[in-house]
Amino acid sequence: MDISTVNSLSYEDFVDTFGNVVERSPLIVAAIWPYRPFANLSDLEARISELIDSLPESGKEGILRCHPDLAGRDLQRGTLTRESQEEQSQAGMASLNPEETTRMYRLNTEYKRRFGFPFIICAKMNNKAAILRQLTERSGNSQTKERAHAIDEVKKICNLRLRNVVLPDIQNKL
């Protein structure tokens, strides 16, 4: 879909189409709908990013808590969102061996206990080895540093999900 089509979507269609670009947080896209028309994909991405940045820390943590554990129960039960299922599968989270699964569960549990939200990384830009390494390394961060890092990862995920729906600006000109 091109940006003019995005701009012509009704509120309901806009939220239906983009409601999961920030995992299980349709209120984020609902809040930016009034800012239409968006000049281009970059403008849409910037509006979402600005809204996230403007949230109080409790709001940011709320967004983080909406994310599932990597290779967690939702993946095992098949209850992940379509986007998360694809992203985790591409990163190898759906094909962990028993030892990796146990390690991932332990690290996820320790991380969540320490920070109060699940470990978030843009799975589409990583593989299982990088994810396990980052999970271990980032567990040593301060609360403030890790929350900021996790929000940056949310923005990466969001931008990639938007690019799966909206044609990049260069393609609109072809």
Q: Is 149 a catalytic residue?
A: no
**DSSP, res 167:** P
Q: Is 116 left (phi over 0), alpha (psi -120 to 50) or beta?
A: left
The CA distance from 104 to 13, in Å, is 37
- Cα 62 to chain centroid distance, Å, stands at 13
171 burial type by CB count under 10 A (0-12 exposed, 13-18 middle, 19+ buried): exposed
Under DSSP, the state recorded for 1 is -
- Check 47, 60, 67, 128 and give the catalytic one: 67
CB distance 156 to 125 below 8 Å = yes
Q: Kindly list the catalytic residues.
A: 67
